[in-house]
Amino acid sequence: MKRSLFAAVLVSLIVPFSASAGMTDSFSNVVEKVNPAVVFIEVTQEREVVSSPFKEFDWIPWDRGQREAPEKEKQIIKGSGSGAIIDAEKGYVLTAAHVIKDVDAAVVHLPDGREFEAIDFIYDTQTDVGVVQIDTEGEKLPEISFGDSDEVKVGDWVLAMGSPLGEALANSVSAGIVSGKGRKSGILGKLGIENFIQTDAVINKGNSGGPLVNTDGEIIGINSNIISRTGFNAGLGFAVPSNIASDVVEKLITEGVIVRGWLGVTVSPLDAIEDEDMLEEIPERIMDRGGAYIVDVLDDGPADEADMEAGDIVLSINGEGVKDASELIKIISSMEPETEVEIQIFRDGEKEELEVTLGIRPGTGRQGGKGVVTGKDRETESFKKIGIAIERYNEQGEADFSEGAVVRYVRPDSIAEQFGIEVGDRIMEVNGEGFEEAEDFQELIEDADLEDGILLNVVTKNDKERKVYLKEF
């Protein structure tokens, strides 16, 4: 959660999806069904700041012997957003990633007055999808189901629900229509996966993470962001489609991190092509069957290496038809990096086949991130105590750890990260003792005490030896 998010021109928090072509004089039945599970999320983040804005000028690096560094004090930053309970039994609450990113604590408030402390935060910034888990304490909670966002049509009625401007207006509802699909606002950056649903339902600050529901009371989007010159609703709201969100949620819950295949292209739906000359070149049969239009190909990416070009239309992947840009993103993102795929394209009036080896999407998983962690890893002593997961096998595919345990994941803000352990490091000894199997390594970690200190002999990924002393002070 960053304060700047609440003042940006592209303000995070917005809209969605639906179905129903007919007019209606009331949505009260939908609200009664959904509202009990729509929550207000209060978040806090602790920061260290210089206690006086002028003290920092009283200290200069080359005068350390004579003057003390400026004192710092802890400051609590508060923020809020919205969400929806999607699993009452396990306490999972759907929200937007930017609502919970980097927060230290959160309280989830239900419309009936109950409130629950958050016990875990998991999120994917590239889609702006987040999950908060709360301790339900055995209480019975309401929940909302996902709908099929692919079935949503432009012109369908939708309801945007949440807490605009904070708790004082919690559980507000606004109605509108789906104004467009496959939109990009740019708020998620170059690496963001943007395939938003656009809506004119009124959304304002604080609606971030709240559900966009159809007239059946199903979630078809997560309110994500708006475009506005004032920071308040201007009729241009955007929501993460439920079909993308549900896939991300499942992976976050089961694996703890998202590792995506990557094609290295920018895509749009065929019906979003504005160049009339280009449209005239596309046969009617292609327009009818659907496809994903390649707007741009990133230099040196997987698609570029396979000679894909801007203007190509992707028709299928491994024989599976691609009907629009959303489906292309979904198929590629569901695959592992290094997967070889056969892509059929339409170019210059003819169909062609290209073979592409997918890369790993920059900023996710093993490349440039903290690595990959699974549900089994979370149960290990090394993960629970010091915040790391290790490879199960060596480079030869054997369960032999005589040459060290290779670090595969480092949990953010863990003691391992604080003391500089990185993905790719090899841990050779724990408190002076070597090991040959994963079980031996985990037992050594289990027996070690952070209060006394844990000494790790490490060989870095650059083959440099170092000793790392992990200790809670």
- Kindly provide the b/e burial profile for residues 391-414, where b requires at least 16 CB atoms within 10 angstroms of the residue's own CB: beebeeeeeebeebbbbbbbbeeb
- Evaluate whether 51 touches 70 at the Cβ level (below 8 Å): yes
- Evaluate whether 311 touches 305 at the Cβ level (below 8 Å): no
Exposed/middle/buried for residue 189 (C-beta within 10 Å: 0-12, 13-18, 19+): exposed
Alpha carbons 235 and 88: distance in angstroms, whole number: 33
- The three-class DSSP label of residue 323 is coil
Alpha carbons 144 and 146: distance in angstroms, whole number: 7
DSSP 429: E
Residues annotated as catalytic are: 98, 128, 208
- The three-class DSSP label of residue 41 is strand
- The three-class DSSP label of residue 333 is helix
Alpha carbons 104 and 337: distance in angstroms, whole number: 32
- Evaluate whether 96 touches 223 at the Cβ level (below 8 Å): yes
* Cα angle: 35, vertex 94, 137; to 5 degrees: 80
**Backbone phi, psi, residue 421, to 5°:** -70, 135
Kind and range of the H or E run holding 349:
none
- The three-class DSSP label of residue 241 is strand
| Orientation angle between helical segments 325-333 and 242-255, nearest 10 degrees | 10
Q: How far is CA 179 from CA 118, 238, 303, 329, in A?
A: 35, 10, 31, 21
- Strand-pair category, 454-459 with 465-470: antiparallel
